[in-house]
Amino acid sequence: MSKHKYIYIIVLIIVTLTIGCGHVVDSEALPEHPTFATDIAPILQKNCLPCHRENGAAPFSLATYAAVKKRAKTIAKVTANRYMPPWPADPTYTHFVGERVLTDQQIALIQKWYEQGAVEGSSGYSYEVPNKYRSSIGKPDLVIPFSPIDLKEGDADRFFISKTHVHLEKGKYISALEFVPSKFGFVHHVNGHFLLYADGTKNKPQRSSAMIEVNEGIDADVFKSLELEGNTGAMPFRIHSAFNYLPGVEGVQYPPGIGGFEVTKDFAAVMNDVHYGPSDANYTDKSVLNVFFSDRKPDRPTAELMLGTNGVSKIVPKLLIPANQKTKHVSRYTIAEDISVLTINPHLHQLGKSFWAFAIKPNGDTIPLIRIMRWDFNWQYFYTFKQMLRIPAGSEIVAIAEFDNTSSNPNNPNNPPVAVGERWDYGGASMRASDEMFQFIVTYTKYKKGDENISLEPKRLD
Ligand code: HEC
């Protein structure tokens, strides 16, 4: 055996030992007879109930002991293999608001509890859903409904534009918006705008709401039929990308004054590119937009920096993934001013394999942003840092994505695989789940001294 091979094996052993160490469970420390009341309820309350509750993102509730007991076996299974709770970001690299990752100790505890018969234990313990609203933030000040959409079993991708007119007593500051689909797994993507009618006192009734099915490209006629003009006939002022939605995304509310915007007393919420992925059931979607108001003028506007597809930086090499190949692509962008990062969103489609982003400061230091070892198309969170994160002027933001277009990728939509990449037939890159995208979106505000001490942990509204 060559010297190199020896070194390789020694390194392998050290790496195995080191990785192994992180997974050692101290079984001595586990209670002899774990109960739901004392041991399991607190774990599930924090890590499962945000979704597994009435009106949550999950298909069933785990909000009572009886419901948990009924599924104890599956719960033991999906926690042990880390399928649940879904949290693609690597918690050894960076941390975010709402991080939901079980420790090995917690997983072992659930196993032991299940094996001993999933006992409830003493009564009178507390086990509550985070809040009773159809929201991850709290009680919305306003809920804007969108027209229902009928989906049919066997549907391919479908695209809509929807508009809802809103009348308030007076103009307001909006601090947070949250798009909520009525059932998880159907809506793939939404990009929404607000149109502000400064002249909105005598709005035509037919302006109130509309839902139009479109091809992926949106042309002028479609906009015309939505009757978006103000009473003067001119197009009202538009706030672009006022809200966005991707699978798994929850609403975020930044500290007072940061982000948000002002609306006039008459405005329309327009959902652009409401995109439903292929449907495997008949279903009527009744999505809503939760609106949260604030008394504080939004004096620190947020902006979005988008690397990759449709963005400010090119993808190297070009995003084309030949059949039966694995590829790796990089996108880099140097920022000109100091920024305070709030939220980041990595976005790939089904062939995505891994994602990694960091910033390199002018002095060569690295600021870790996010690492996702196992890309999961179903969970494309917007990750909010626990504290505002300063990236100094002159830093280069680097995003790296790997794709797997072989048939051993279980998420490959094509069997046998075919070449997949960005497609540009629609005046922008195609967002169809069967085409690929590579985007890294950074939501930030201009840096101000002291920002690094500002917490982004949400303040519960109720
Ligand atoms: C971010 C939302 C979310 C969180 C948090 C979450 N789940 Fe889920 N869970 C889902 C969704 C959506 C599904 C259905 C789709 C799927 O199976 O992937 C699901 C499915 C399941 C299933 C059924 C799996 C199967 O194979 O039938 C179980 C059991 C489950 N979750 C348990 C848990 C437990 C236990 C926790 C906490 C430790 C948890 N979930 C946290 C959203 C969530």
Distance 86 CA to ligand 1 centre (A): 7
- Cα 298 to averaged position of ligand 1 atoms, centre (Å): 36
For tokens 């809802």, the residue is: 164
Pair (52, 24) in one structural domain: yes
Q: Is position 460 within any domain?
A: no
Residue-level pLDDT at 61:
93
Query: Ligand 1, atom 11: nearest CA belongs to which residue?
Result: 58
Whether 367 is covered by a domain: the verdict is yes
Q: Which amino acid is at 191?
A: N
Here the CATH number for the domain that contains residue 410 is 2.60.120.230
Buried b (16+ CB within 10 A) or exposed e, 143-161: ebebbebebeeebebbbbb
Number of domain units in the chain: 3
For residue 86, whether the previous peptide bond is cis, meaning omega lies within 30 degrees of 0, is: no
CATH number of the domain that residue 227 is part of: 2.60.120
* 372 plus 437 within the same structural domain: yes
Same-domain status, 290 and 307 = no
Q: Which atom of ligand 1 is nearest to the CA of 43?
A: 38
CA dihedral 370, 376, 379, 383 (to 10 degrees): 0
Residues 217 and 102 in one domain: no
Same domain, 208 and 170: yes
The SS3 call for residue 7 is: helix
Is residue 181 in a domain?
yes
User: Distance (Å, rounded) from C-alpha 217 to C-alpha 199?
Assistant: 30
Nearest alpha carbon, ligand 1 atom 25: 74
Residues 152 and 254 in one domain: yes
Q: Are 149 and 12 in a shared domain?
A: no
Domain match, 425 and 354 both? yes
Residue 173: inside a domain: yes
CA distance 243 to 240: 8
What pTM value is reported for the model?
A: 0.85
Q: Are residues 258 and 181 in the same domain?
A: yes
What are the average pLDDT values for consecutive 10-residue runs of the chain, which has 462 residues? 48 44 65 96 94 83 96 98 95 95 96 97 89 85 89 82 89 92 76 76 58 70 73 78 79 90 88 79 87 93 93 94 97 98 94 97 98 91 95 98 96 91 65 82 97 88 56
On whether both 253 and 271 belong to a single domain, the answer is yes
Inside any domain, residue 429: yes
For residue 337, the model assigns a pLDDT of 97
Pocket test for ligand 1, best of 71, 78, 111, 183 (most atoms within 8 A of CB): 78
Segments forming the whole domain that contains residue 416:
303-453
DSSP string, 356-405: EEEEE-TTS-EEEEEEESS--TT----EEEEEEEEE-TT-EEEEEEEEE-
CA-CA distance, 308 to 328, in Å (whole number)? 13
Testing ligand 1's pocket by substitution, the residue of 36, 39, 51, 69 carrying the most ligand atoms inside 8 A of its CB is 51
Whether residues 37 and 96 share a domain: the answer is: yes
137 in Cβ contact with 251 (< 8 Å): yes
Residue 307 and residue 254 in one domain: no
Query: Which residues 6+ apart lie within 8 Å of 287 measured at CB?
Result: 146, 149, 179, 180, 181, 182, 187, 190, 271, 274
Total H helices, total E strands in the chain? 6, 21
CA of 119 to the centre of ligand 1 (A): 21
Which residues have C-beta atoms less than 6 Å from ligand 1? 44, 47-48, 50-52, 57-59, 71, 74-75, 78-79, 84-86, 100, 184, 248
